[in-house]
Structure 1
Amino acid sequence: MERDTRADRIADAAIALLARGGARALTHRAVDAEAGLPPGSTSYYARSRAALVAATVDRLVRLDLAEAPPPAVDGSAEPSPGDLTAQLAGLLAHWTGPGRDRHLARYALSLEARRDPGVRRCLDAGGGRLRTHLAGLLERLGADDPERRARWLAAAVDGVLFDELCGWGSSRPLDADGLHAAAADLVAAVLGTTAPEPLSPGRAAGSAPGRRGTTASS
């Protein structure tokens, strides 16, 4: 248990460094300092930089899966498109708020993956796990060709997140109602249903750039 706790602490420190300083900031010594651990601690758990990247990606995926809507479970109540919309809206609010570092870290690793096949393999394996999970949920909701639709939905969610964190939307972020409307549109598109009318305009009226409306969930 202690080993697992310290390994996660190291991976969390790596995520924070990547989000703040990009791939160049990820070194064993920097992770030790960020995690508040004695020098050499990170090297004990991840002997090479490749091993450190793999551990970090695994931590990112495990955190995402822990928050994702559960796939099919025998005997459990069937989900509805409305359930998925509410869950996705909550995840978007979290991932563009308190959980933003995980996605900024993933972007940093994605840029490095363009030059490093080892990083690319780690990210591809992690992304495959998430898409398999999502396909199981979509199959349970009755989607045809759930694997194809899971790939599309994952890409669409990535697009919303990138726009909110790094793109045009980062200076005019969506409020809670806007995120819910975005989630409803995505779920309706992937399931071939009709999205409900948005509760209010998507951008927080009068909010300062870079800050969410007061109704945004955390």
Structure 2
Amino acid sequence: MNQDRRDRLRDAAVVVLAESGGRGLTHRAVDAAADVPTGTAKNYFPTRDALLRAVAERCVEQYRALAASLAGAGPGPADAGQLAALLAGLLRDVAGPGRPRVLAYLELQTEGTRRPWLAALLDPIAAADFAAHAHLLRTAGLPAGPERARALTLALHGAIPHLLSGAPATLAAAGLDDLDRFARGLLASVLPEEPR
């Protein structure tokens, strides 16, 4: 099979899932989004599960590419200020260019509650975030025990759906209307000053 066309279909499926949700992810919708003849997606991904698997694999690939680009961008944050800037930048990506990938991933997580094989396929993404955040804390010279890495990761994961919905009152209530301030405050909460 043609790998370029397969990737085009997978990218289109990510967009369809992000824009139309699980019910909107059909072979016909993917064909239309990829601008290919009707039936093309069905030839590459014959079943709905095959189509879901293709989207999940593409999301995992995109996540790994983003992680690799961050790893290749230099030694990492040198202090809490740089780490806060990095976290704010990641959240901006979620609300901006990464939005379709993240929305598709959240839709896949929901599907994964009914399809254990799909949850297993997505598991490395979320699991990797805990280790990645612990690494970032250490690189920045900050305490990076498992509890702090978990708190940071879970707070960021919890912020994402609110950020994606874009509801102004919720964004303001969560502090997500100013991502730089949010990231600084999150680090301050996760890393309280040691008592003297």
Aligning the two structures, in what range does the TM-score lie when normalised by the shorter sequence?
Answer: 0.7 to 0.9
CA distance, structure 2, for counterparts of residue 113 and residue 33 of structure 1: 25
Please list, as runs of the form range in 1=range in 2, the aligned pairs for 1:131-210 lying within 5 A after superposition.
131-142=130-141, 143-146=143-146, 148-166=147-165, 170-172=167-169, 173=171, 178-192=178-192
CA distance, structure 2, for counterparts of residue 113 and residue 162 of structure 1: 17
Higher helix share: 2
In 1, are the aligned partners of 2:56 and 2:118 still within 8 Å (CA)?
no
Distance 1:51 1:133, change over 3 A: farther
Deviation at 1:135, TM superposition (A): 3.1
In 1, are the aligned partners of 2:31 and 2:41 still within 8 Å (CA)?
yes
Aligned length, in residue pairs: 188
CA distance, structure 1, for counterparts of residue 137 and residue 60 of structure 2: 19
CA distance, structure 2, for counterparts of residue 81 and residue 157 of structure 1: 16
CA distance, structure 2, for counterparts of residue 141 and residue 66 of structure 1: 22
Who is 2:40 aligned against? 41
1:55-90 deviations in Å (ceiling 9; x for gaps): 3223223334444573599x9476322112112112
**Identity rate of aligned residues, in percent?**
38
Unpaired segments of 5 or more residues in structure 1? 195-218
Unpaired segments of 5 or more residues in structure 2? none
CA distance, structure 1, for counterparts of residue 53 and residue 9 of structure 2: 12
TM-score, with normalisation over the residues of structure 1? 0.69
1:8-53 deviations in Å (ceiling 9; x for gaps): 3222211211122211111223212211123343345434433332
CA distance, structure 2, for counterparts of residue 151 and residue 46 of structure 1: 36
Structure 2 counterpart of 1:179, which letter? L
In 2, are the aligned partners of 1:17 and 1:34 still within 8 Å (CA)?
yes
In 2, are the aligned partners of 1:15 and 1:101 still within 8 Å (CA)?
yes
Structure 1 counterpart of 2:103, which letter? L
Structure 1 counterpart of 2:36, which letter? L
- Root-mean-square deviation (Å): 3.2
In 2, are the aligned partners of 1:72 and 1:140 still within 8 Å (CA)?
no
Who is 1:6 aligned against? 5
CA distance, structure 2, for counterparts of residue 97 and residue 62 of structure 1: 19
Who is 1:112 aligned against? 111
